[in-house]
Amino acid sequence: KINGAMAKKKDGQPHTPRKITFKYLKYNINDVHTQVERRKGAIYKVSPYKLLINDGNYYLLAFDDHAQDMRTYRIDRMKEVKVIDEPREGAEAFSAIDMETYTQRVFSMYGGTQQRVSIQFINPLLDTAIERFGTGKDVFYRPEDEKHFVVTADVEVSDQFYGWLCGFGRRVKIISPTSAAEEFKAYLDKISGMY
């Protein structure tokens, strides 16, 4: 249904891509084996653009009618998918996405405020940094000194991003912007305050 909605041709004839509707599911703490409907069963209406795979899961990249922005949905959490007779919207928002870095930013760092961040790593972590940030035209690497390099990239800054950085301990440090470094420090203080 999703592929059919996105199709630009149908039976060899031009086809205008359509919107779809669905209910979206989430897990429930009272029964982790059963998913329940998000937003009390509200209908999601989106303009589908691209199917993606990440870590063994399929996702739909779509323009959300309610949020008026691009969103990513797990296909296996979509229920009662229907193609509706409304032309797809959001072409401008979709064309603004750099697909080369999109999955790295969104799947690896989760949702947050996108910021241009410079991070210092120890040299042995270069492969890890390239796997995470890629080598696209907007990602820059430079040697800092004999033991360190700095990567500058657009990142979805969030608690999950800070949690990812925590995994490297003292081998990584946010260089700029100062606001991201201060938020990271506040994140660490908040966690240490629990113990």
Is pLDDT at 58 greater than 60 in this prediction? Answer: yes
Number of H helices, E strands in the chain: 6, 12
What is the mean pLDDT of the segment spanning 167-195? 94
Q: What is the pLDDT of residue 105?
A: 62
Contact 5, 83 (CB under 8 A): yes
Q: What is the Cβ-side half-sphere exposure of residue 24, based on CA atoms within 13 angstroms?
A: 17
Query: In this structure, is the dihedral angle defined by the CA atoms of residues 115, 121, 125 and 127, taken in order, positive or negative?
Result: positive
Query: In this structure, is the dihedral angle defined by the CA atoms of residues 161, 167, 170 and 171, taken in order, positive or negative?
Result: negative
Other C-beta atoms within 10 Å of 57: how many?
A: 12
Better-scored residue on pLDDT, 48 or 161: 48
Q: What is the pLDDT of residue 112?
A: 66
Q: What is the pLDDT of residue 97?
A: 85
Per-residue pLDDT band for 172 (boundaries 50, 70, 90) equals very high
pTM: 0.59
CB-neighbour burial class of residue 128 (10 A; exposed 0-12, middle 13-18, buried 19+): middle
What is the mean pLDDT of the segment spanning 16-26? 94
What does the pLDDT look like over 102-137, one tens digit per residue? 776 666 545 567 789 999 999 989 888 877 787 777
Is pLDDT at 164 greater than 80 in this prediction? Answer: yes
The residues, ordered by sequence, that sit 6+ positions from 151 with a Cβ below 8 Å of its Cβ are 118, 119, 121, 129, 133, 139, 140, 141
Q: What is the pLDDT of residue 108?
A: 57
Other C-beta atoms within 10 Å of 69: how many?
A: 9
CA distance 155 to 113: 8
Instruction: Give the chain's mean pLDDT.
Output: 87
At 73, give phi and psi (nearest 5°): -125, 140
